[in-house]
Structure 1
Amino acid sequence: MTASLGDRNKIVIIDDEEDFAVTAAWEVEDAGYEPFLIVEGTFNDIDDLVLQIPQDTYGVLCDHRLGKSGLANFYGSDLVATLYDQRIPALLGTQFYDMDSDVSIRKHRHKIPVLLNKDKIDSSSIKAGMEICLLEFDGNVASDRKPYRNIVRLVDVNQESGEDVVDVIIPGWNPYKAVRLPLALICEWLLEFQPKIGARLIASVNTGAENPEDLYFTNFEIATEPEGIDGIP
């Protein structure tokens, strides 16, 4: 994408439900942008879908479950994380907000500055979301997105939709509320990690987040001494 930011006015809407994409396009227009819809095709590779995004794109509004009608064989969260690495502002929307946030979205939550319930997407949330993305790209990370080193304690090991998951407590965030995340996320940092109830890890967590669905986890390591770790007395 070679056009300067000031020359870009398109917001690309990626969704396998055309009716929603058309409705979202009205909100994009109300926000002062030109909508560009990607609602057809079959994309097996993220890069192939990225190539469909015009050069004069200002940002992207992407549905999470892109496979319901066969638009893509990956999640919207995978695409948004890829766009984040390319410094392309992208908002992720889902109509399965509570179901998706713990596992499939949590894997990339550190690269998803804005997660929206599709029922609440409007011109205001689109404009505000794009601004949040751009500020984060410039290093102006919102307080609820800043990571801090925290103890993460495993309290349960389970499965969800055929995927291994763990429930954890982050004392520095809320010592009484468990948060679910995919085991694969921990194993990105600890390749041979075997989950056991009571195990203590250290991870970077954005403990300024108010809601559990907004928490992200990176840089896991095995906990030894708690001194000097945020949230630990």
Structure 2
Amino acid sequence: MNVLDRPLSPGDPIAIIEDEEVNRRATGWIVEEADFTPVPISFIPTSLDDLFAEIEGKVAAVICDHRLGRGSAVSYFGAEVVAKSNRRKIPAVLLTSYANSDENSTIRRWRSEIPMLLSRGQDSDPDRLAEALNFAEEECRGVYTEARKPYRVIVRVRDCRYGPEEVVAECVVTAWQPRTTVDVPASMISDSLSMPISELVGKRLSAEVNIYAPTAGELYFRDFRMGPGVPAGW
């Protein structure tokens, strides 16, 4: 079953990857109200490959929570599941209670392949779910809204600091909002450039960024490179 074979249709099976039973049931009701068939995943494998082996070819789309490791040995986040599912052309949506707290760290790392992020409670309704699945399906087909298209722009690292889970880089994207800093996991940048995090501050880089995103939480960053030097006399 592949999104490129045919569009999502009423009754299609949708995998629900959620480690808490109460949330699994709640999401199942939303899926049913959206006219799809819920397929709850009650046991989440420790390996991401094993997870995809369980669902690939058996479901038409995926809805996943973000923090999956509570009380288990799962070492990956739902954002990675959603990103890699969309990469495999299985439309996927991230639905989580941690949308706001994790959007600048573990979610930002995979945001370029998460077409829409849904906040549990606020976005827990069938219309929003259907909209999110439609966005994911369109991007699997290579169709992007203007707010999701990437542009190569200059990104300046103004500072680095310890966040709740990891070091984040405070970045300025002049082509988006020149007076606003956006938090990005510092390791995303340092790993791309093979540069220690301690040397990032003050660097002018280039990256692919969706600069028409309406909010900071919807920005994504990918393919960091060293940027041009500062012109003489600046």
> TM over 0.5: same fold?
yes
Query: CA 1:63–1:71 in structure 2 vs 1: closer, same or farther (change >3 Å)?
Result: farther
Note if 1:190 corresponds to 2:154: no
Query: CA 1:38–1:226 in structure 2 vs 1: closer, same or farther (change >3 Å)?
Result: farther
In structure 2, distance between residues paired with 1:20 and 1:5: 29
Query: After superposition, where does 1:201-220 map in structure 2 within 5 Å?
Result: 201-220=205-224
Contact 2:48–2:81 under 8 Å retained in 1: yes
Contact 1:11–1:61 under 8 Å retained in 2: yes
Contact 1:144–1:210 under 8 Å retained in 2: yes
The residue that corresponds to 2:80 in the other structure is 78
| Alignment TM-score, normalising by the size of structure 2 | 0.89
In structure 1, distance between residues paired with 2:72 and 2:230: 47
Note if 1:10 corresponds to 2:13: yes
The residue that corresponds to 1:94 in the other structure is 96
2:203 aligns with one of 199, 204, 207: 199
The residue that corresponds to 2:125 in the other structure is 122
For residue 220 of structure 1, what is the amino acid of its counterpart? F
Give the stretch that moved more between structures: 7-16 or 121-130. Answer: 7-16
In structure 2, distance between residues paired with 1:55 and 1:151: 40
Residue 159 of structure 1: how far off its partner (Å): 1.5
Query: CA 1:2–1:162 in structure 2 vs 1: closer, same or farther (change >3 Å)?
Result: closer
Query: CA 1:200–1:54 in structure 2 vs 1: closer, same or farther (change >3 Å)?
Result: closer
The residue that corresponds to 2:228 in the other structure is 224
Q: How many residues are treated as equivalent by the alignment? A: 226
The residue that corresponds to 2:162 in the other structure is 159
In structure 2, distance between residues paired with 1:2 and 1:89: 9
For residue 80 of structure 1, what is the amino acid of its counterpart? V
Residue 121 of structure 1: how far off its partner (Å): 2.1
Residue 24 of structure 1: how far off its partner (Å): 1.0
| Alignment TM-score, normalising by the size of structure 1 | 0.89
SS in 2 for 1:69: coil
Residue 161 of structure 1: how far off its partner (Å): 3.3
SS in 1 for 2:111: helix
Contact 2:167–2:185 under 8 Å retained in 1: yes
SS in 1 for 2:157: strand
Residue 71 of structure 1: how far off its partner (Å): 6.7
In structure 1, distance between residues paired with 2:108 and 2:93: 15
Residue 197 of structure 1: how far off its partner (Å): 2.8
The residue that corresponds to 1:231 in the other structure is none
Contact 1:186–1:193 under 8 Å retained in 2: no
In structure 2, distance between residues paired with 1:31 and 1:173: 35
Q: Which aligned runs of 4 or more in structure 1 are off by greater than 2 angstroms? A: 1-8, 192-198
Query: CA 1:58–1:224 in structure 2 vs 1: closer, same or farther (change >3 Å)?
Result: same
RMSD between superposed Cα atoms in Å: 2.1
Contact 1:164–1:184 under 8 Å retained in 2: yes
In the alignment, structure 1 segments of 5+ residues that lack a partner are 228-233
Identity level (%): 31
Deviations 1:70-126 (A, max 9, x none): 272210011112112211000012212221000101111111111110111211111
In the alignment, structure 2 segments of 5+ residues that lack a partner are none
Contact 1:39–1:71 under 8 Å retained in 2: no
Contact 1:64–1:77 under 8 Å retained in 2: yes
SS in 2 for 1:189: helix
In structure 1, distance between residues paired with 2:165 and 2:131: 36
Query: CA 1:183–1:138 in structure 2 vs 1: closer, same or farther (change >3 Å)?
Result: same
SS in 2 for 1:52: helix
Query: CA 1:221–1:15 in structure 2 vs 1: closer, same or farther (change >3 Å)?
Result: same
